[in-house]
Chain A
Amino acid sequence: MTNNEITVRVDRVSKSFGDFTAVKDLSLTVRAGRVFGLLGPNGAGKSTSIRMIVNITAPDTGRIELFGRHIDSQLQDRIGYLPEERGLYKRMKVADQLRFFAELKNVSGKFANERIDYWLARLKLSEWKLKRTGELSKGMQQKIQFISAVLHDPDLVILDEPFSGLDPVNLELLKDVVLELKRAGKTIIFSTHLMNIAERICDDICLLNRAEKVLDGSIREVKKSFGRNSVALRIESGNGNLDSSKLISKIEHHSDEIEVLLTADANPQEFLKQLINSGAIVTKFEMIEPSLNDIFIEKVSET
C-alpha cells in the first residue's frame, strides 16, 4: 500500500434523526497507513459519522467508499471497531468473549487463539484470560474491548473515544499500541476531544462542530493555515518599545517570557529587527505554532 491510496472516502454525506441533523454535507478522505483524528466537541456528529463508516447506519444522502468500494457487509471483516458505548458480555469469560468476536469477523481456530494470547499479553491482561468479564475493572474491560477491535488484524481500525476513562499509564500504553498499528501499515481513524493526544499521534485531522466540518487536512497544514504569527519572546534590559510597535496586535505576559501576537501581515523578521534596533537584548525569539487546543477552541467558539 502506498501512502496515496485512499482507504475511506466520505462524499457529501448527511444524516438526520427526525428534526435533528447529526451530520451535514460531510466530505473527507482518509489515506492508507495514516492516523486520522476526528475531532470536535460533544455532539458534533463524530460518532454518527463513524457509525456510517462502519455500516451500522446508512447515510440519508451521499456516498461512503471503503478500500475503493461501496461499503457492504463483506468489507466489515476488514474493519475493527471500538464503539464509544462499550459493551461486553459480563458473564462470559474473557477468552470466550474474544473468540466469539473473532469468529464474527471470520477468524477462528488456532490463529484466533494465538492472536488472543498475543494481545492479552501486549495489554498486560494475560492473567485475566479465564476470568469472567464482569469481574474486571472498567479500564480493563475497555482494553478487552480494544482487543476485540484489533484481534482479526483489520486493515482499518476505527476507535471512538478510545482514551476516555483510562489512567495515564494505560493511556500511554494504548497510545503506543496505536502507533504500533500505524507502523504495521494499518489505517486508523479515531475520534477524541483530547487535543493533546490528537496532536501527538494524528497525521491528519478533521474538526467537526454542530454537524459540519470546520476544517481538515494534515496537522502541519492545519497549523500553518492557522498561522497566528505568535512569537515567544524573552528580552533582557528594557522592553524594546513593545507598546509602540505597530506590528503587534496583542501581548501576553507569562512568568519569564512574553507571548506576542503579531498583526496578520506583519513580518516576524521585521519585528526582530525592530527589537534589536531599539537596544533590547533578545535571549529568546521563537515562532510559536498554535496548539491544536487553541485551534479547537477558537474554531468551535467562532461557529
Chain B
Amino acid sequence: MILKASNISYNRILKNISLSLEKGELLGIIGPNGAGKSTLVKILTGIITPNSGNIIIYNKNLSSMKAFEIARNISYIPQELTVLHDIIVKDFLYLYRYSFFENMNKSESIIEEAAKLCGISCLLSRNLRTLSGGEKQKVQIAGAVVQRAGIWICDEPTSSLDPGAKSDFYSMIDNIRSKKEISILITSHDLTELVSRADNILAIKDGKIFFDGICAQLDKDILSSLYDSDFNMMKYNGKRIFTIS
C-alpha cells in the first residue's frame, strides 16, 4: 500500500474518511457538489492539515514530511490552471522540478521526454497564457510526469473541458498508465469515463463515506441515492453508461 488515510476529519466538512491506494491503482472519488471531495484532495496533498486522522505515504507520516518530500511523492493536478503571467511552457514545466533542486540543463531532457509522452512537444515554446483549457490540462499532466511522483491526485481535472478535450485527457491518462506505474486518485463527475477506468470507487456524501468498493459494484441505485436523482444505466461497447432520467 503506497497511500493510506485513516479516520480523516476536517471541521464539519469531512468525518472519519479512510481510504487506501495500491501501486498502479486508479481510485475514483465521486459525490455531489459540496460533499468534501476537494477538501479531501487538499488534505491528501498536504495543502491543508486535518483536525484528526493520519496519512501514511510510502510508510511515512505525511505530517512529518517536508514540502519537497511530499512533492517528490505526490503530483497534484487541480481543476484548472489559472495563469496571470506570461511564461513559456518549457519554463513553466521546469517549476515542477523545484523539489529536486537542480538546474535547468539537467531538467531539460526530462521536460522534453515528458512533453513527447504527453504529445505537447509542439507547445513547449508557446506562451502558457495563450493555450486553451484542454492544452493547459495537458501541460499539467506533463508537469506531473516531470515531477516524477508515484502518486497523482487530480481534483476534477476535466470539469472545465469540452467533451473532446475531456476524452483527450482520459486517453492521455490511459497512455501514461500503460507506460509508467503510477497510482492515481481522481475526483470527478464524469461517471462514465471514471467507471470504465477506475479499479475502485469511493463515494462521499455530506463528508462521510457513502460507498467504498470495486467499480463493478457501483449501480444505478447507489448513484440515485448518492446524488438524490433517478439514474439509469445502459451498456454500450462494453462500457457502462449512467444517465439521469
A binds B: no
Q: Please give the residue numbers on chain A whose beta carbons come within 8 Å of chain B beta carbons, in ascending order.
A: none
Tell me the B residues contacting A by CB distance below 8 Å: none
